[in-house]
Structure 1
Amino acid sequence: MAAKDAAKPVETDQPKVVVTDAGKAIDHRLDQHEQYEFGGPFGVTAIMLGFPALMYYLWICLWLYDGQLVRPDSLEDVKPFLGRMWAHICEDANPSLYAWEVYGGNIIFQLFLALVMPGFKQEGLPVPSLNYKTLVYNCNALYSLYATMVTATVLHYTGIFRLTEIIENFGHLMSVGMICGVTISFGAYFFAIASGSQIRMSGNFIYDVFMGAILNPRIGPIDLKMWAEVRVPWVIVFFLAVSGGCKQYEELGYVTPNMAFMILATWLYLNACAKGEECIPQTWDMYHEKWGFMVIFWNFAGVPFSYVYSVVYMARTDPSKYQFSTPRYVFMFVTLLTAYYIFDTAMSQKSRFKMQTQGITTFRTAFPQLPGGTVKNPTFIQTTHGNRLLTSGWWAYSRKPNYAADWIQSFCWGAIIGTATPIPYFYSVFFITVLVHRTGRDFERCSAKYGKDWDRYCEVVKYKFVPGVY
């Protein structure tokens, strides 16, 4: 079936999307627990215990063993080896009072900014569990980001808080982040049960803590799920990179191109989330994913303390071990910026298309606005459910162009240190696993939701990630 036969342009005077009765019945079924994911209770328990242990191990290898993957020499050495690992954690990663002050101070400051800064009011997608009510999100992450950057600059240059202290206290801050992630996960579960706001429950305690019990937790005007997705992990990621740069400047008198690359890369990602925050309410995370350990722990600890291993390595290592030639630096920067452009515009195209289907035709503009962020006269497949599936722009070439571009960025974050240590590649290896699994979950849900219309869509947009490849 040709694309022109399966899709039609969106006209600005078309009525808003209305979910049909059949679509509502499907949505009701999808809002029930039908099967376990992630290996069920056993699998999620392994994840909840295994990831913190892995994070500690990789940090120890970077922090104390020059990025080498240390291991016991023999079976007899396992117990002493574990003893040494535990000693490292107790000494260099204990949740110190100072770490609580720094990490907790940032959390409180970000909540304060979310409460008081001016923002753009964005209507989200209709939520089936709320009888298709739409929630309004106060998108003020951009103002909050620049307020944070100005505050950090003032604190650094006045000597009140030196930015180098962030990377120097990496292990301590990571432990505090883990404690916060675990505590908030269980707290959100018990709050949902106490308030009767739980949804899509399995009946298994640990599994429901992992997947979450509540869908749209809020403190006044602050949507906690959206706030935690942007204001916690990516702010920390960016300032860890900045801290690494400050540390290099203090010790070496200059910042290496590799570290400058990471500062740029993390700023691009954080700024993209902030300037395009109004697109987030249109995503799967806001619309369907519950707020549980899977999301909370990763926002408070996983993302900020495992995605920038290259920064940790560079802050502790002689630059001669990871220096590149000039052409290779040029190639790295061009690849990053190209991938970022596709990622940014693909996300914008999809979100603004969804806004169009809600009757929203005026979009927020914030720096930097890239050309191609809105598809003119987009084509789509009209489903019997009532929703429309975009088949224009980047989305005409693959079903997840944003995922492919996002993964390339993650690979660059590791490749910027070359082959000096494999640990910074953890982000891209873990991320591709998450993306493939997430895509499978998403496509399975879409197949159940749209039926034959989804089959039609897959005929038009044949590739999942990379056109002509996969």
Structure 2
Amino acid sequence: MASKVAPKAATGPLNPKTVHREFFGFPGSVVIIATTTIVLYTWNFSCNVKDGCELPLTAERWAHIFAGAMNYQNYLSLEAFKYYVMWWTWLAALYFIIPATNIQGVVLRDGQRLSYLMNGFSSLLVTTLVTLAVYMKAGTEPFLWIADHFFELAVASWIFATSLALFVYIYSFRHSYVERPGKPTVMLGLAGNSGNPVYDFFIGRELNPRIGSLDVKVFCELRPGIMGWILLNVCFAIKQYKDQGSVSVSMWLAIVPQIWYCIETLIFEDKVLTTMDVTTDGFGWMLSFGDLTWVPFMYTVQARYLSFTPVTLSTPYAAFLAGMATCSYLVFRLSNNEKNAFRTNPNDPKVQHLKYITTESGSRLLISGWWGAARHINYTGDWMLGLAQCLATGMNTPMTYFFSGYFLVLLVHRNYRDEHKCHEKYKKDWDKYCEIVPYMFIPYVI
């Protein structure tokens, strides 16, 4: 029977009430929702073909941004919202239609292992074929429309992401959460069971909200935003070709690593099942907005800038950036593959030679290979890959470096969460591990 009382924290051994609140709880969640939305608006009204790309450091620039934000008729578009809903629905339909591999997730607190349909890469291939068919029939016009109506689509995604987060928050109260022997309850996120509706809406109340077999969190993590990132980059490259006569080396260096990053994320989509987003965090506004709006519409700022600003790179500098991107990607991918292979089967010949320590809880912590070099070596590779993409835009504006700066803050914060979680879980064993592997990001440096 559904709960008919006011929202409050469900308590019990499996769903304990949240004590430690991330991001300073209620006030922090309000600040983050407001700040990220303001940043989305600021980067649109400060970095575009009409206004150039300058940080708003004067009252005049801020007045311009405020005036643009108030003139909502220019970006609040029913047509854009319709197209965004069609995009999300199309990918959800492919999730059910395309043959998929059934993968078991990690063991949850109640002993369950949820099943996930893995067909993201196949969905990308089908979507690519349909996109090519659209190009063959209609030419570049649909792609130029997307580039020219970028912000209308961004706002549409914000509305959709916020609505989805509100839906899953309300949806999480469909159960009584009474814990009975042999009958596991719906799992809540450890951080989102505070009883404060604003904070729980933001951080995510239910761990794995599902509509039928569609896991909303994993779907949003991998499909609409990741594939939207690819599509937007392609549209901006097409716009540059139309307006400037060619696709520049700088554009290729910015978008090729990003597109490949997205493709290989979908190729290795089952690896997301062991990440903190899936195993620990609930699905709320933070992930909904991050997956559906922030990733595709803020991470494409480099391509958007280059679509209206010619940037010429010297051959040696371009070669340096290509090498930097390649090496950074290899650090990121090889370290993650090593970790996932060890977690899946420590006796796999590929990782059997690695050294580790065994904790009192029975977990094994790697102390050799990539993870013997630094505790979060994958973060280093991930950040350096993003920095290489920003460097491709030249040095004319700091706004195209937002991706790198934000990503650094994100990874440092995630490192803090990882370290805190591991210290709570492994206690003295974690201290021992940190003595053996003293560096967090870069061996012999930090």
Asked if Structure 1 and Structure 2 have the same fold, meaning a TM-score greater than 0.5 normalized by the shorter chain, the answer is yes
**Aligned 8 A contact 1:72 1:81 in 2:** no
Structure 1 residues 461 and 154, CA gap change in structure 2 (3 angstroms):
same
State which of 175, 178, 192 in structure 1 corresponds to 2:172.
192
Matches within 5 A, 1:89-168: 89-91=72-74, 93-94=75-76, 96-128=77-109, 131-159=110-138, 162-168=142-148
Q: Can you list the C-alpha shifts for 1:139-193, whole angstroms capped at 9, x where unaligned?
A: 1111111111111111122107622222111110000011011111111111102
The alignment's TM-score, normalised by the length of structure 2, stands at 0.89
Q: Secondary structure at the match of 2:126?
A: helix
**Mapped partners of 1:422, 1:408: distance in 2:** 17
1:438 deviates by 1.2
Structure 1 residues 410 and 82, CA gap change in structure 2 (3 angstroms):
closer
Which amino acid letter does the alignment assign opposite residue 352 of structure 1?
A
Q: Can you list the C-alpha shifts for 1:342-392, whole angstroms capped at 9, x where unaligned?
A: 1111111111211115x8x69xxxxxxxxxxx5343322211112222223
**Mapped partners of 2:174, 2:336: distance in 1:** 36
**Mapped partners of 2:68, 2:42: distance in 1:** 8
Residue 161 of structure 2 corresponds to residue 181 of structure 1 = yes
**Aligned 8 A contact 2:225 2:293 in 1:** yes
**Mapped partners of 2:432, 2:125: distance in 1:** 44
Range moving further from structure 2, 326-335 or 211-220: 211-220
Q: Can you list the C-alpha shifts for 1:383-406, whole angstroms capped at 9, x where unaligned?
A: 111222222321110111111111
1:66 deviates by 0.6
**Mapped partners of 2:294, 2:397: distance in 1:** 20
**Mapped partners of 2:394, 2:422: distance in 1:** 39
Higher relative contact order (CA 8 A, sep 6+): 1
Residue 403 of structure 2 corresponds to residue 420 of structure 1 = no
1:82 deviates by 5.5
Residue 234 of structure 2 corresponds to residue 253 of structure 1 = no
Which amino acid letter does the alignment assign opposite residue 421 of structure 1?
T
Residue 418 of structure 2 corresponds to residue 442 of structure 1 = yes
Residue 12 of structure 2 corresponds to residue 36 of structure 1 = no
State which of 214, 234, 237 in structure 2 corresponds to 1:242.
234
Range moving further from structure 2, 324-333 or 60-69: 60-69
**Mapped partners of 2:72, 2:46: distance in 1:** 12
Structure 1: gaps of 5 or more residues: 1-26, 363-373
Identity %, equivalent residues = 28
**Aligned 8 A contact 2:375 2:440 in 1:** yes
Aligned counterpart, 1:325: 314
Matches within 5 A, 1:15-94: 32-63=17-48, 64-73=50-59, 80-81=63-64, 83-87=66-70, 89-91=72-74, 93-94=75-76
Which amino acid letter does the alignment assign opposite residue 86 of structure 1?
A
Aligned length: 421
**Mapped partners of 2:72, 2:52: distance in 1:** 16
Which amino acid letter does the alignment assign opposite residue 340 of structure 2?
S
**Mapped partners of 1:193, 1:229: distance in 2:** 23
Which amino acid letter does the alignment assign opposite residue 218 of structure 1?
R
State which of 284, 301, 313 in structure 1 corresponds to 2:305.
313
The alignment's TM-score, normalised by the length of structure 1, stands at 0.85
**Aligned 8 A contact 1:234 1:269 in 2:** no
